Structure 1
Amino acid sequence: MVTGASTGIGRACVADLVRAGFHVWAAVRRTEDEESLLREHPDGVSVVRMDLTDEASVRAAGKVVCAAGPLHGLVNNAGVALAGPLEYLPIEVFRRQIEINLTGQLIVTQSVSPALRQAAESGDDPRIVMVGSIGGRIAGPMLGPYHAAKFGLAGLSDSLRAELAPFGIAVILVEPGTIATPIWETGRAAADELVKQLPAEADRYAEQIRKTRANAVKSGETGISPYHVSLVIVKALTAAKPRPRQLVGRDAKIAALLARFLPYPLLYRVTAAKKAVKRAG
């Protein structure tokens, strides 16, 4: 089962899993995405509809999946990136970020766990793959909601791994760097709408917002293909002994080294926003 299967990493993952011989439960929100996936993979995909902010829809989809029998793997991929200055961020925006990128991942996992347990009890080696981010190891300005969710997902994955180990269900956290996916465009559009809701005092963050918007555009254009991540996910689902945490992308590996080895004062200096320079005239 792959959540967030409509675009980006999720869409690539569905295609690669079908090519690898799996029948995939693809979870999407919209009718057009369901129809597109069924056209593309008429014999390899079954689609379930869910919205991670609607617990009832997730539980209902889980019942459908569990009723079909054992499940070899769950790929918790769905997510959004919401940006804004934490000092003025509307709390409903922060809650939405956590609900989708963290709480929703647990609800999906709970909903299909009977099928994963059934697979383990029948002699299979089921896995849960959490799609995290290097943003769950190192944090910077304006993406506080996203970082909070991804740091939380790392902790959630570690606890799930520890709890499920006795039952033969592995948990793998995949941590990509910058990937060229629609999440950057949708996140930028959401940020543009959020800026309209901010009080006048938030103008002091204008330069940080501008740089974050520019970085989002650049990431969407220059990030590596979602298929690089998909290949790692498929391997995590099929390898005999997958590594519990897997970085994807050169930038992710460099950032992970910085997060691990730089002294905290220096790390904070590197990631801190720079003071805007006032121009004369």
Structure 2
Amino acid sequence: MKPSYVVTGASSGIGRACVAELVRRGAHVWASVRTDGDEKELDRAYGDAVSVLRMDLRNAESIAECGARVAAAGPVRGLVNNAGLARPGPLEYVPLAAFREQLDVNVTGQLAVTRAMLPALRIAPVARVVTVGSIGGRIAGPMVGPYHTSKFALVGLTDSLRAELAPEGIEVILVEPGAVATAIWSRAREAAEEVRATLPPAGLERYGEQLAAAERSASRSARTGVAPRRAAEVVVRALTTRRPAPRYLVGADARLAAVLASLPFRLRYRLTAAKR
């Protein structure tokens, strides 16, 4: 019987690359997407090797239904918590509804999916939860405050889950990529343009240049980030290696940022502060 894994956010980017790598290794994948088009594309590409889950991390009912469906089908050896979004903008002006949505998807949604999949994980001979975080969960900068907040929270969530599930032998692993060349950067640029259009004149005067710098950074990340396949290979290694590390960095920029995060606080904050 093929080993089964669950991958959220499987329509593109790291999630889609994880699906491809797991199928290549002979696994069956439960892949979560939100749209009809994404479901049809996965069906065309992988056939019976992939079972599509229609899941929205903002919808508790859809998560519970997917968890029940997976558990009814049998054991699952691994869950990849990959789905997420990025909301840019100055924290002084980011709508609180958008801030809540960022945390709801990137933090609360990850916990809800993990809880829903635990029954299937518990009946597997070996079970792991691999969460795709970010180096942005170690070091924060301007104009991406909602995203950084969610990724810092994800570190605490992952560490607590690791401690709580250890007695059952379910290993919880955090993967921390730097820039990965995915559609998240183009979506972030579009969102930044929308934020700029809604800022009052005083806000634009205070934060306009910081927003422009963030947009340039997003464009650079889209061009120079590592391929999603590289991140997926690390995720699959964490799922399948005999003794996985608790954390994995992905990309030279992630390794550099990890060093920066270890610097004394005053120096770190001086290096990451916005410049006039």
TM range (shorter): over 0.9
Q: Pick from 9, 18, 22: which aligns with 1:13?
A: 18
| Alignment check: 8 A CA contact 1:88 1:199 kept | no
How many aligned positions are there? 270
Residue matched to 1:27:
32
Query: What does 1:23-172 correspond to in 2, within 5 Å?
Result: 23-119=28-124, 124-172=125-173
Please state how far the C-alpha of 1:100 moved relative to its aligned partner: 0.7
Name which of structure 1's ranges 191-200 and 40-49 shifts more when overlaid on structure 2: 191-200
| Cα distance per residue 1:82-108 (max 9 Å; x no partner) | 100001111011001101111100000
Give the secondary-structure state (helix, strand or coil) at the position aligned to 2:123: helix
Q: Kindly indicate whether residue 191 of structure 2 is the aligned counterpart of residue 190 of structure 1.
A: yes
Structure 1 residue 9, shift from structure 2 partner: 0.2
Q: SS state of the match for residue 94, structure 2?
A: coil
Report the Cα distance in structure 2 between the residues aligned to 1:193 and 1:208, rounded to whole angstroms: 15
- Write out per-residue CA displacement over residues 183-223 of structure 1, whole angstroms, 9 at most, x where no aligned residue: 11112212222333332321110000001011111111111
Q: Helix, strand or coil for the counterpart of 2:18?
A: helix
Q: What's the CA shift for 1:263?
A: 1.1
Q: Note the residue ranges of structure 2 that are not aligned, 5 or more in a row.
A: 1-5
After TM superposition, the runs of 4+ consecutive aligned structure 1 residues lying more than 6 A away are none
Q: 3-state SS of the aligned residue for 1:41? A: helix
Q: Which runs of 5+ in 1 are unaligned?
A: 276-281
Q: Percent identity?
A: 58
Question: What is the letter of the counterpart of residue 116 of structure 1?
Answer: L
167-176 vs 53-62, which moves further: 53-62
1:178 correspondence with 2:210? no
Matches of 1:117 and 1:94, distance apart in 2: 34
Query: Aligned partner of 2:23: which letter?
Result: V
Q: Measure, in 2, the Cα distance between the counterparts of 1:50 and 1:194.
A: 28
Task: Tell me, in whole angstroms, the C-alpha distance in 2 between the residues paired with 1:43 and 1:166.
Answer: 34
Q: 1:240 aligns with which of 242, 245, 255?
A: 242
Question: Quick one: distance in 1 between partners of 2:133 and 2:147?
Answer: 10
Q: Indicate the SS of the match to 1:89.
A: coil
What is the CA–CA distance in structure 2 between the aligned matches of 1:76 and 1:194, rounded to whole Å? 28
TM-score, normalized by length of structure 1?
A: 0.95
- What TM-score do you get using the length of structure 2 for normalisation? 0.96
What corresponds to 1:231 in structure 2?
A: 233
SS of equivalent to 2:56: coil
Partners of 2:48 and 2:119 lie apart in 1 by 25
Residue 127 of structure 1: SS of its match in structure 2? strand
The one-letter code of the counterpart of 2:112 is I
1:259 and 2:261 correspond: yes
| Alpha-carbon distance between aligned partners in 2 of 1:96 and 1:187, rounded to the nearest angstrom | 15
